[in-house]
C-alpha cells in the first residue's frame, strides 16, 4: 500500500502543480497582468510547489530529514541529472547572465545554507533571511527582465491558456491546490512507511526517491523540449529552481517550524551540493555552451552520488 501512496502522491503532485500553474496563468491573463510578471511569480512558484508542500508537510509532521533531504536531493538532481540528461540529448547554449548573475546567487545561497546548518538547526530567523533573499532575488529578476523586455519565451507557452474561461481556470486552481495537499500527504506517508519497512533512514529516502519525484516536472519539461529541438532552453531555469529551493522552500519551512539538520547532511550531502554547484560553472562558462560530453560528466556525477548513498545501505 505504501508504494501506491508513494507513486500516487508523485503523480498527483505533478498533475496538480501543472493545473495550479495553468489556472493561475489563465486568471492573470484575464486581468491583463503582463506575461513577464506571470513568469517571474506564478509560474516560478507553481513549478516549485511540490518541493515546498512536501518539505513543509515533512517538517510539520516531525520528519525533518525528509524536508532537508528533499531540498538537497532536488538541487543535486536539477543540475546533475536533469541538466545532464537534457544536454546529452541536445547541447544547450548558456546565457551570459546565467553565468555572471544566476550562478553566483545560487552559489551564495548554497554557502549561506552551509553556514546556517553549522549548528545543526535552521532557526526561524534564518528562514526569514532566506525568504527576504528570495523576495530581493525576484525583484531583481523582474527589474532585469523588464529592462531587457524579455517576454518572448513565455508568449508561445500561454497562447492556449488565453482562450480558456475564468470558471475553468478557477477549477484548475482549486483542483491544483487540493491535489498538492493530498499528493504531498500521500507521498510523505508512503516514503515514511517504506523507510520504516526496510530500516532505511528517512534522509536516504528524501535525497533519492522524494527528491527525484519532486524534480520530475523539470526533467520531463526539459527532455521533451530537447527532443523538440527547442534550443532556447535556459540553464538559468534550473539554477533558478535551485535558488528557490534554498531561499523559498527552506526559508518558508523554517519560518513555520525550525528544522533540525542531521549529521549526515552536515558531513556529506552539503558537500555534494556545493561540489556539483561548483562543477557546473566551468562546464557552462567555457564557450557558454554545455555539450553532450559535459552533460555526460554531470550525469555521471549524479550516478556517483546515488551510488555512494545506496552503498551505505549494503
- Strand, coil or helix: what is 199? coil
* 123 φ/ψ angles, rounded to the nearest 5 degrees: -75, 165
Residue 85 CA to residue 299 CA, distance in Å, equals 6
| Domain assignments of the chain as residue spans, ordered by start | 2-311
Half-sphere exposure of 78 (CA within 13 A, CB side): 29
Across the 314 residues of the chain, what is the mean pLDDT of every consecutive 10-residue run?
Answer: 78 76 71 57 64 78 82 91 89 84 92 94 94 88 65 51 69 78 73 74 79 73 66 69 89 90 89 95 91 94 91 68
Instruction: Give the CATH number of domain 2-311.
Output: 1.20.1420.30
Enter the pTM of the model.
Answer: 0.79
The pLDDT score that the predictor gives to residue 204 is 83
CA distance to 67, 70, 126, 242, per residue, from 52 (Å): 9, 9, 17, 12
CB-based contact 64:260 (threshold 8 Å): yes
Amino acid at each position: 500500500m505504501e508504494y501506491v501512496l508513494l507513486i500516487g502522491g508523485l503523480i498527483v503532485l505533478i498533475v496538480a502543480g501543472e493545473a495550479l500553474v495553468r489556472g493561475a496563468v489563465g486568471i492573470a491573463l484575464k486581468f491583463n497582468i503582463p506575461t513577464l510578471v506571470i513568469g517571474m511569480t506564478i509560474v516560478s512558484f507553481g513549478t516549485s510547489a511540490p518541493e515546498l508542500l512536501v518539505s513543509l508537510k515533512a517538517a510539520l509532521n516531525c520528519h525533518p530529514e525528509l524536508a532537508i533531504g528533499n531540498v538537497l536531493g532536488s538541487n543535486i538532481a536539477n543540475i546533475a541529472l536533469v541538466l545532464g540528461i537534457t544536454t546529452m540529448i541536445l547541447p544547450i547554449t548558456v546565457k551570459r547572465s546565467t553565468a555572471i548573475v544566476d550562478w553566483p546567487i545560487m552559489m551564495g545561497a548554497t554557502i549561506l545554507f552551509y553556514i546556517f546548518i553549522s549548528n545543526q538547526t535552521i532557526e526561524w530567523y534564518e528562514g526569514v533571511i532566506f525568504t527576504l533573499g528570495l523576495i530581493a532575488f525576484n525583484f531583481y529578476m523582474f527589474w532585469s527582465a523588464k529592462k531587457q523586455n524579455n517576454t518572448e519565451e513565455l508568449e508561445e507557452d500561454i497562447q492556449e491558456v488565453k482562450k480558456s474561461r475564468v470558471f475553468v481556470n478557477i477549477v484548475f486552481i482549486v483542483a491544483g491546490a487540493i491535489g498538492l495537499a493530498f499528493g504531498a500527504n500521500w507521498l510523505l506517508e508512503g516514503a515514511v512507511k517504506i523507510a520504516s519497512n526496510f530500516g532505511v533512514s528517512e534522509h536516504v529516502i528524501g535525497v533519492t526517491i522524494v527528491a527525484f519525484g519532486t524534480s520530475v516536472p523539470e526533467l520531463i519539461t526539459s527532455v521533451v523540449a530537447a527532443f523538440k529541438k527547442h534550443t532556447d532552453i535556459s540553464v538559468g531555469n534550473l539554477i533558478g529552481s535551485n535558488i528557490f529551493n534554498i531561499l523559498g522552500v527552506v526559508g518558508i519551512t523554517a519560518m513555520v517550524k525550525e528544522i533540525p539538520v542531521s549529521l549526515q547532511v552536515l558531513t556529506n550531502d552539503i558537500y555534494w551540493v556545493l561540489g556539483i554547484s561548483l562543477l557546473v560553472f566551468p562546464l557552462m562558462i567555457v564557450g557558454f555552451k554545455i555539450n553532450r560530453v559535459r552533460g555526460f560528466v554531470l550525469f555521471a556525477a549524479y550516478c556517483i552520488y546515488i551510488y555512494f548513498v545506496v552503498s551505505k545501505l549494503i
